Amino acid sequence: MVHPDDLHLLDKINEGMTAHVKIDILRRARLTLSHTASHFLYAAAVSLRKELKQWTLGCHIKEDSARFDFLVEKPFSIEEVSEIERRANELIVRNKIIENYAVQGLEDARMWVYQGIEIPCGGTHLDSPQAIGHLSVRRKRLGKCKERLICDFPGAVIDLSPYHGQAL
């Protein structure tokens, strides 16, 4: 995606030209951690309410939090939010390897896999959940039949070592 302010630059680009790419590795590392954490939030929510899988409206990943929006018949109770947080953290503390694999026959389709949980996703992820630390979950009512689950991870450890010393 090209930012609207940069659209005029496209006319100056030709096939075969050399491009120099600059990546904000701290932001990328934070988004990778947040993106990974979002899968634990989602997996925990769906394990509690199976119907959420088909009623997911969307998600949003930020550097310090992530959220999922759902269409629901009844709002999440305080007890359910606590149980979702407990289940997500139970998965995280296992600290097992997170796997990703390509879906055979579907170009660019990938799966995120953790302890038998499979979620279609082609994003960037941590290799294990240890760096996430404790996941805090809260809810927000968006309107009739719409609920948002938000997670943050104040104790997260951002590891920049995978980005150093490599020609990207």
**In whole angstroms, how far apart are CA 103 and each of 80, 118, 146?**
33, 12, 32
Reply yes or no on whether the pLDDT at 132 is more than 70: yes
Q: Is residue 90 part of a domain?
A: yes
pLDDT in tens, 26-55: 999 999 999 999 999 999 999 999 999 999
Range of the domain at 86: 23-96+129-162
State the chain's mean pLDDT as an integer. Answer: 93
Q: Has residue 34 been placed in a domain?
A: yes
Q: Kindly tell me if the per-residue pLDDT of 110 is higher than 80.
A: yes
Name every residue whose Cβ is closer than 8 Å to that of residue 150 and which is 6 or more positions away in sequence.
65, 66, 67, 137, 138, 139, 140
Mean pLDDT of the region 117-127? 93
Q: What is the pTM of this model?
A: 0.88
pLDDT of residue 91 exceeding 70: yes
Report yes or no on 150 lying in a domain: yes
Q: Quick one: pLDDT band at residue 168, thresholds 50, 70, 90?
A: very low
Backbone angles phi, psi at 80, to 5 degrees: -65, -40
User: Per-residue pLDDT for 2 more than 80?
Assistant: no
- Tally of domains within the chain: 1
Q: What is the CATH number of the domain that holds 155?
A: 3.30.980.10
Would residue 61 count as lying in a domain? yes
Q: Is residue 82 part of a domain?
A: yes
102 within some domain: no
**65 within domain boundaries:** yes
Highest mean pLDDT among 19-28, 52-61, 99-108: 52-61
Identify whether 14 is part of a domain: no
pLDDT value, residue 23: 86
User: Model confidence at 94, in pLDDT bands (50, 70, 90)?
Assistant: very high
Confidence (pLDDT) at 166: 52
